[in-house]
């Protein structure tokens, strides 16, 4: 007599793709390989199984997400369905918004509209000559 195991296995790279953290499964697997994803504080491989209740730390570019796994899925659905798979911690959300504001402020300081005008070039030359 064989016992059928109905428990599905959920790989971390498939789950990250289904939760819409990465656009493709290969990008998710690459991020896991490079150490950008940790489960319960430990570095993992793409084939690692994820379970409900696991704490994930995901680094994407400058941002870091600290999330708790609420549900499992291998299939990519809508964004609303993907958000039901996890819950982000309040501290993580606040840190990301603060970092986004900081990056936004820095980018506004250096924004210019194309080439400098004749007046701007004179100012630049004047500043260079003073140094």
Q: Do 73 and 85 meet the contact criterion of CB atoms below 8 Å apart?
A: yes
Domain that holds residue 80: 12-130
- pTM of structure: 0.74
C-alpha radius of gyration, the chain, whole number: 22
Number of domains in the chain: 1
For the domain that residue 88 is a member of, what is the CATH number? 3.10.290.10
The per-residue pLDDT for 48 is 93
Which of 30, 34, 100 shows the shortest CA–CA distance to 65? 100
- What confidence tens digit (pLDDT) does each residue in 33-60 have? 999 999 999 999 999 999 999 999 999 9
Is there a domain that residue 6 lies in? no
Distance of CA 4 to the CA centre of its chain: 37
- Distance set, CA 68 to CA 30, 51, 58, 92 (Å): 21, 10, 11, 11
The per-residue pLDDT for 2 is 34
Local structure of 93: helix, strand or coil? helix
Distance of CA 19 to the CA centre of its chain: 11
Is there a domain that residue 2 lies in? no
The per-residue pLDDT for 108 is 65
pLDDT band at 117 (very low <50, low <70, confident <90, very high): confident
């Amino acid at each position: 007599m064989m016992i059928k195991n109905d428990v599905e296995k959920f790989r971390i790279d498939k789950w990250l793709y289904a939760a819409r953290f990465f656009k493709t499964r290969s990008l998710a697997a690459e991020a896991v390989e490079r150490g950008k994803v940790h489960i319960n504080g430990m570095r993992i491989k793409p084939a690692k199984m994820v379970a409900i209740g696991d704490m994930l730390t995901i680094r994407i570019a400058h941002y870091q997400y600290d999330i708790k796994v609420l549900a499992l899925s291998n299939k990519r659905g809508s964004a609303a369905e993907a958000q039901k798979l996890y819950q982000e911690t309040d501290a993580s959300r606040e840190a990301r918004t603060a970092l986004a504001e900081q990056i936004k402020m820095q980018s506004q300081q250096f924004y210019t509209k194309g080439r400098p005008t004749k007046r701007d070039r004179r100012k630049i030359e004047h500043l260079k000559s003073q140094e």
